[in-house]
Structure 1
Amino acid sequence: MTGSVALIYSTFGSAEEARRVALSLLQEKLVACANHFAPVVSQYEFQGKLHEEQEFPALLKTSTEMVGPAMSRLSILHSFDTPAILHWVVDAADPDYEKWLLGQVRN
């Protein structure tokens, strides 16, 4: 069991935005890795209106210590008024991967 690896999930309005934001977070050492997924169709209600939009999800890997700073920075960089920024702690990770990941983010 580990409590030191964490995941942050968010969706973006374009693949380019997802890559740009992830690159900033990587360069700032707030995350160690970003996985980008194929576009998804998101359906939701916002400000009293139903929406159906194509969005571009990204999974960002970081340490539990960097979750707060990474989420705060992600919120600033994100173009959405109310972005989905979700976090969860990883219960278990390969020890070698965990060591690498923790070495990539700020202490």
Structure 2
Amino acid sequence: MTDQPVLIYTLFGSKAEARKVAKILITEKQVACANHFAPALSQFVWEGKFCEEEEFPVLFKTSRGCAAIAMQRLKALHSFDAPAIISWSADNCDPTYAKWLSDQLEKS
């Protein structure tokens, strides 16, 4: 049986950090794949100050069984003090892709 796919989204402060963290999570079999997007302009308030920063979004693909550990590991590897790490279930997924994804991940 294939575990339900889960998507995890976060942003990094540099392209190099995004690539490094993605490689670690894939090598450790916590995620099956990472999609890196073009830099994004992020606007937010941090410690009472308005900030405008270029950040590097990444969408990680994993399974329900690996998601919690992948998110914990992602937080531990992340350089931000309070990284936006957001996940959601991929309710509709091609079965062939879902099986491939599941086959790439650490089995508990």
Q: Provide the TM-score with structure 1 as the length reference.
A: 0.96
Quote the Cα distance in structure 1 between the aligned partners of 2:73 and 2:90. Answer: 21
Contact residue 3 and residue 102 of structure 2 kept, 8 A: no
Secondary structure at the counterpart of residue 35 of structure 2 = strand
Hey, what does 1:26 align to over in structure 2? 26
Pick closer, same or farther for the CA change 1:74–1:64 going to 2, 3 Å. Answer: same
Hey, what does 1:43 align to over in structure 2? 43
Percent identical residues: 55
Residue 60 of structure 1 pairs with residue 89 of structure 2: no
Amino acid of the structure 2 residue aligned with 1:91:
D
Contact residue 3 and residue 65 of structure 2 kept, 8 A: no
Amino acid of the structure 1 residue aligned with 2:47:
Q
Quote the Cα distance in structure 1 between the aligned partners of 2:81 and 2:53. Answer: 15
Aligned CA RMSD, in angstroms, stands at 1.1
Secondary structure at the counterpart of residue 61 of structure 1 = strand
- Structure 1 unaligned regions, length at least 5: none
Q: Per-residue deviation at 1:3?
A: 6.8
The structure 1 segments of at least 4 consecutive aligned residues displaced by more than 3 Å after TM superposition are none
Aligned length: 106
1:37-88 CA deviation, whole Å, 9 max, x = no partner? 0000000111111100000000000001111100000000000011010000
- Structure 2 unaligned regions, length at least 5: none
Contact residue 63 and residue 102 of structure 1 kept, 8 A: yes
Quote the Cα distance in structure 2 between the aligned partners of 1:97 and 1:24. Answer: 22
Contact residue 3 and residue 89 of structure 1 kept, 8 A: no
Q: Provide the TM-score with structure 2 as the length reference.
A: 0.95
